[in-house]
């Protein structure tokens, strides 16, 4: 691991187990490209613990694979709707046995973000549909985003009394600028792929029917480039732009912990689960 990514309390370290492949994450590889597809389409690929750990393990394994480019995408009409709020609420209910929100972030999403950034090869988010919450955060942490023209993006955190996590409080303003980034974070406005492109949140927008083909073509261009140049370019951008990433993820988790103790947070999650307008 790059030293730049070690947190002040060393939380970025540790190796995930290469557990069995999960049914919730499809992995395929061809032409030097590894595709990881979230597969909980009926829940818009919301992250439960199993999918989170499967992604972490797959990214860990990718570091030593032959693949030269990694593509993250979702099956169905969602890229990912973020944290599975039903599982989260159940875990936090009395007797649910959950750790704190900060601990959950540090054990899962923060490690995923660090893995994406420290992988010595490009990671592309192929945004096939709605990306929300930490689902959007993970896309923003990737090297490139290619969106279908019918995809939508929303932070969603503020609606449930939270702050943008999974590095979104850093990557959102980096990509969209402070003002528009803060606006999207505070309003949770759901924007189109075209608007996301205008804001610099995605690299390109393509017809939904062409998304796979366009992503493959872009990935093939990267596969054909000198491998070490891409690895060192990524390392240079990381060191120049996000040198304190691990420390920031750690601090972001502490802020999320604070937010998660509010009544507004509990009410917001309940409103979503009860399908009341949030
Ligand atoms: C879902 C979800 C979901 C469960 C759709 N969970 N079922 C938080 C807490 C703690 C620690 C760590 O970090 C985090 C990070 C976060 O990610 S917080 C933010 C979590 N995500 C959200 O708040 C987004 C919630 N989802 C939505 O706002 C909408 O579903 C979006 C805007 C994504 C899509 O809206 P629609 O296209 O209208 O679809 P839908 O709402 O009808 O959803 C389809 C199904 O997926 C539905 O299930 P059902 O069984 O009724 O068909 C939803 O309940 C389910 N689903 N997101 N996050």
Q: For residue range 223-239, list pLDDT tens digits in order.
A: 999 999 999 999 999 99
How much distance in Å is there from the Cα of 248 to the middle of ligand 1? 26
Phi-psi region of 270 (alpha: psi -120 to 50; beta: other; left: phi over 0): alpha
% of the chain at pLDDT higher than 70? 92
Check if the beta carbon of residue 5 is closer than 8 Å to that of residue 241.
no
CA atoms of 149 and 131, how far apart (whole Å): 13
CA atoms of 60 and 215, how far apart (whole Å): 22
User: What is the token pair recorded at 101?
Assistant: 């929100």
What's the start-to-end Cα distance of the chain, in Å?
A: 40
pLDDT of residue 278 exceeding 60, the answer is no
The predicted pLDDT at position 18 comes to 36
Check if the beta carbon of residue 135 is closer than 8 Å to that of residue 82.
yes
**Higher pLDDT residue, 6 or 179?**
179
- Atom number, ligand 1, closest to the C-alpha of residue 162: 18
Arithmetic mean of pLDDT, 88-101: 85
pLDDT of residue 240 exceeding 50, the answer is yes
User: What is the token pair recorded at 174?
Assistant: 């980096």
The CA dihedral of 152, 141, 186, 92, to the nearest 10 degrees, is: 100
Nearest CA to 68 among 114, 28, 30, 33? 33
Give the strand pairing for 69-74 and 152-154: unpaired
Confidence category of residue 14, pLDDT binned at 50, 70, 90: very low
How distant is the alpha carbon of residue 136 from its chain centre? 5
Atom 55 of ligand 1: nearest residue by CA position: 43
The predicted pLDDT at position 19 comes to 37
Confidence category of residue 276, pLDDT binned at 50, 70, 90: confident
Confidence category of residue 93, pLDDT binned at 50, 70, 90: confident
User: What is the token pair recorded at 1?
Assistant: 């691991």
pLDDT of residue 56 exceeding 60, the answer is yes
CA atoms of 170 and 167, how far apart (whole Å): 5
Check if the beta carbon of residue 165 is closer than 8 Å to that of residue 157.
yes
How much distance in Å is there from the Cα of 268 to the middle of ligand 1? 12
Mutate to test the pocket of ligand 1, among 50, 85, 99 (most ligand atoms within 8 A of CB): 85
The binding-site residues of ligand 1, defined as CB within 6 angstroms of any ligand atom, are 43-44, 46, 81-86, 88, 101, 104-105, 130, 132-134, 154, 156-157, 160, 162, 165, 272
Confidence category of residue 82, pLDDT binned at 50, 70, 90: very high
pLDDT of residue 1 exceeding 80, the answer is no
CA atoms of 159 and 113, how far apart (whole Å): 23
The predicted pLDDT at position 102 comes to 96
- Atom number, ligand 1, closest to the C-alpha of residue 83: 17
Arithmetic mean of pLDDT, 180-208: 98
| 0.85 surpassed by pTM | yes
The predicted pLDDT at position 229 comes to 98
How much distance in Å is there from the Cα of 76 to the middle of ligand 1? 14
The predicted pLDDT at position 5 comes to 45
How much distance in Å is there from the Cα of 274 to the middle of ligand 1? 12
Arithmetic mean of pLDDT, 167-183: 98
How much distance in Å is there from the Cα of 26 to the middle of ligand 1? 21
Q: What is the mean pLDDT of the chain?
A: 92
């Amino acid at each position: 691991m790059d030293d730049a990514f070690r947190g002040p309390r060393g939380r970025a370290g540790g190796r995930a187990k290469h557990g069995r492949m999960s049914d919730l994450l499809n992995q395929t590889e061809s032409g030097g490209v590894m595709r990881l597809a979230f597969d909980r389409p009926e829940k818009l690929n919301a992250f439960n613990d199993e999918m989170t750990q499967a992604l972490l393990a797959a990214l860990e394994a990718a570091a030593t694979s032959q693949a030269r480019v990694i593509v993250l995408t979702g099956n169905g009409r969602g890229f990912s709707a973020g944290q599975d709020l039903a599982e989260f609420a159940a875990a936090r209910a009395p007797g649910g046995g959950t750790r704190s929100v900060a601990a959950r972030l540090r054990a899962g999403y923060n490690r995923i973000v660090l893995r994406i950034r420290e992988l010595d090869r490009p990671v592309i988010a192929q945004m096939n549909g709605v990306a929300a919450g930490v689902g959007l955060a993970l896309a923003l942490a990737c090297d490139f985003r290619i969106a279908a023209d019918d995809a939508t993006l929303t932070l969603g955190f503020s609606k449930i009394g939270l702050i943008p996590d999974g590095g979104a409080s850093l990557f959102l303003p980096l990509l969209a600028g402070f003002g528009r980034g803060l606006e999207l974070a505070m309003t949770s406005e759901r924007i189109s792929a075209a608007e996301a492109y205008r804001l610099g949140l995605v690299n390109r927008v393509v017809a939904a029917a062409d998304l796979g083909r366009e992503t493959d073509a872009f990935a093939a261009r990267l596969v054909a480039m000198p491998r070490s140049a891409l690895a060192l370019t990524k390392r240079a951008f990381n060191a120049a732009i996000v040198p304190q990433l691990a420390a920031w993820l750690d601090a972001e988790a502490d802020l999320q912990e604070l937010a998660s103790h509010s009544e507004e947070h509990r009410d917001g999650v309940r409103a979503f689960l009860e399908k009341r307008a949030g």
